A and B are shown apart, each in its own frame.
Chain A
Amino acid sequence: MIDSFPPGMIMVIGALLIPFLPHIVRQIFMMLLVLLSAYPLTLGIGVHTTINFFDLEFILFQSDALTIPFAIIFHIAAVLNIIYGAHVKHWKQHVAIMSYSGAAIAAVHAGDLLTLFVWWEATAFTSVFLILASNTRRSYKSAFRYIVIQVTSGMFLLAGALILLNNEGNALLTKFDINTLYGQLIFIAFGIKAAFPLLNGWLQDSYPEASEIGTVALSTFTTKLAIYCFAKCFAGTEILIAIGAIMTFYPIFFAVIENDLRRVLTYSLNNQLGFMIVAIGIGTELAINGAVAHAFAHILYKGLLFMGMGAVLYRVGTCKASELGGLFKYMPITAVCTIIGAISISAFPLFSGFVAKSLIMSALGKEGLVLVYFMLLFASAGVLHHSGIKIPFFAFFAHDSGIKTKEAPINMIAAMVIASLLCILIGVFPSLFYSILPYQIAYEPYDFSHVVGQLQLLTFAAFAFICLWHFKIYPPELNSTVLNSDWIYRKMIPGVLIPFLSMMSNLNIKMSNYIIDTSLKTKTYLANIMTRDRVFDREVGKDGLIILQVFTVFLVFVLVSQFF
């Protein structure tokens, strides 16, 4: 029975019991839910659970070579999230994280678009509570924008699914043609969640507003679910190469000037998604392996970086680079773990980022996509700049901010240490890591050229940063807001729409006044005429009205008769 239960679903259902359990029991219960959710994965590849509803077959649980790595990393991330959030005594965020993780895992195992739609929306409605958990006015507003955009994405998905169902008689989750209407609708739905250029505003807007444990969970599931969906449905779609290349490129500059370190990480997240999207666009076996490997490794090292910054936020109450600095002596373990995350994301050899990114770069080289290759190489130097150096440097070193604090709680440290070890383990034993990827191909990341080339790139990029800082060319971080694509709907549209509506409203009032004035004048004028000429005098008026009514009815009759 339990083995045919769709993975993730038990986590969503079990989350409902969390409020009724005492804290320690709750932690054990949540771990148990994740284990029970993972158990059906032992069934292996195939379609395992379907239900029929209104003559439609819903595939609740299907597993293939692509779902397995995502299922594994989503379960690992769920465990890490439970450990990382164990210091929070209140049940609300635990319910949200458990149901959100479960919904994302269940979405990965959906075999048709309608089932995917249900879980797609479930991830939105469960995760929004993690943004609300910050309990600030900014987070409330941000959560509202987040849910509107996520639901919009779901509407595109549903529209695409229904058109496909109408055209084909089924809505199976399979490879789609971008040149069809349903293909385009589904593409936009996935693109919103994958934070495509100009559709990415929600990511930088909402994630940094979430609670310290909420951001870690958010960074794991939503965007990587979109990556899975793209790999499943649009592998080899060439436009993804261009979109992905832009995604790797432009967030770097925003990350360089952003002051909030968690927001810097969201730009970095956007940039890393670009690498995966490029790889999916290439669509070869090597590239798809690269995309999946990158998603897998990215969940760990980006989660680790968010954990580090979450710990700083929890202890210090801020994540602004302008207010932080010199925390290494108070939070050495957090600092070391954050540095491991930074080294991993920068793709230093022996760390997870290197073995994942190498696959994508090799796939680009093999396909002869030179321009995109150099864009991604440039972006790799950018990653080192904003995530590899900026994050640990401004939080734990730079200058002494005068903040005195203490090390992160033990549960946070435990989660960070486990994530750090996994980052190193993947980097040191890549063949073990490669064995879970969708395609079994021979690839060796540790050859002389790869290693020396990468080390030169990274050390010289780091040296450039050092020079900029040492010679005081690097400007100080400032308390500021960096404009992003969310400016369009937060400022530009209201900025145009409100004056326009105000103008229309004024015009309406003026026109109404004019009509009322004219009516009154006409009425007065007619009254004067009628009184003067005794047209509708009391005696004559009744007859006159009867004649007028009869004449009107006759006129209407004549007019109507012309049409029949």
Chain B
Amino acid sequence: MKSLIKKFGKINSGVLALCILFLILELVGHRHGETSIEDIIFFPAFFGFLSCIIIFKIGVSLRAFLMKDEDYYDR
């Protein structure tokens, strides 16, 4: 555990611990969503993680099209 904290950092390890805690909470109580798809176990966790990765990937790929030099409009 100590080596994980050392390797991953205190804050990062803390977030990981919270992730695990909220997964356990779902096992303790009964969670249901606004839609039936959300009732799948750990759905929000998967959705949140994947969404963030997708947003990042699309954002980075858009750099090639949308990112120009800082003085682009001043030329």
By a beta-carbon cutoff of 8 Å, the part of chain A in contact with chain B is 138, 252-254, 256-257, 361-362, 364-366, 370, 373-374, 377-378, 381-382, 384-385, 448-449, 452-466, 468, 470, 473-475, 478-483, 490-491
B22 interface neighbour in A364, A373, A452, A478, Cβ under 8 Å: A452
Chain B residue nearest in CB terms to A205:
B73
Q: Which of B8, B49, B52, B65 has the most CB of A within 10 A?
A: B52
Q: Which residue of A lies closest to B60 (CB)?
A: A475
Within 8 A of A (CB), among B23-50: 23, 25-26, 29-35, 37-38, 42-50
B12 touches A466 (CB 8 A): yes
6 A–B pairs (Cβ distance < 8 Å), ordered by A = A253-B62, A381-B47, A452-B22, A453-B31, A481-B67, A481-B73
Cα-based distance from A490 to B74 in the complex (angstroms): 10
Q: A457 to chain B: which residues have CB within 8 Å?
A: 44-45, 47-48
A453 touches B9 (CB 8 A): no
Which residue of chain A lies nearest to B13 when distances are taken between CB atoms in the complex? Answer: A466
Cβ distance A88 to chain B, nearest Cβ, rounded Å:
28
A364 to B59, CA, bound (A): 27
List B contacts of A257 (CB < 8 A).
59-60, 62-63, 66-67
Task: State the interface size on chain B (CB cutoff 8 A).
Answer: 50
Q: Is B19 an interface residue (CB 8 A)?
A: yes
Residues of B within 8 A of A449 (CB): 30-33
Say whether, besides A381-B48, A452-B25, A470 and B66 are in contact (CB < 8 Å): no
> Is B4's beta carbon under 8 Å from chain A?
no
Q: Which residues of B contact A (CB under 8 A)?
A: 8-9, 12, 15-16, 18-19, 22-23, 25-26, 29-35, 37-38, 42-56, 58-60, 62-63, 65-74
Verify B73–A491 contact, CB threshold 8 A.
yes
Does A448 lie within 8 Å of B30, measured CB to CB? yes
Q: Are A448 and B31 in contact (CB under 8 A)?
A: yes
Q: Which of B16, B44, B54, B69 has the most CB of A within 10 A?
A: B44
- In order of increasing CB-CB distance, the 10 nearest A-B pairs are A365-B34, A256-B59, A381-B51, A464-B52, A457-B48, A460-B48, A461-B48, A456-B44, A457-B44, A460-B49
Identify the closest chain B residue to A465 (Cβ).
B52
Main secondary structure of the interface of B (DSSP, over half): helix
- Bound Cα distance from A382 to B31, whole angstroms: 23
Residues of B within 8 A of A466 (CB): 12, 15-16
> Out of A374, A384, A385, A483, which one reaches B68, CB within 8 Å?
A483
Q: Which residues of B sit under 8 angstroms from A373, Cβ to Cβ?
A: 34-35
User: How far apart sit A482 and B59, CA to CA, in the bound complex (Å)?
Assistant: 11
Min CB distance, B9 to chain A, in Å?
7
A456 and B34 contacting across the interface, CB-CB below 8 Å: no
Query: Bound complex: CA of A256 vs CA of B67, how far in Å?
Result: 12
Q: Which residue of B38, B47, B70 contacts A481 across the interface (Cβ within 8 Å)?
A: B70
Chain B residues with CB below 8 A from A464, complex form: 48-50, 52-53, 56
Interface centre among B49, B51, B60 (most CB of A within 10 A): B51
B67:A480 contact, CB within 8 angstroms: yes
Question: Is there an interface contact between B60 and A459, defined as CB atoms closer than 8 Å?
Answer: no
Q: Is the CB of A482 within 8 A of B66?
A: yes
What are the residues of chain A within 8 A of B34 when measuring CB–CB?
A: 361-362, 364-366, 373
Chain A minimum-CB-distance residue to B33: A453
Report whether B52 and A385 are in contact in the complex, using a CB–CB cutoff of 8 Å: yes
Q: A370 with B66: in contact, given A381-B48, A464-B49 (CB under 8 Å)?
A: no
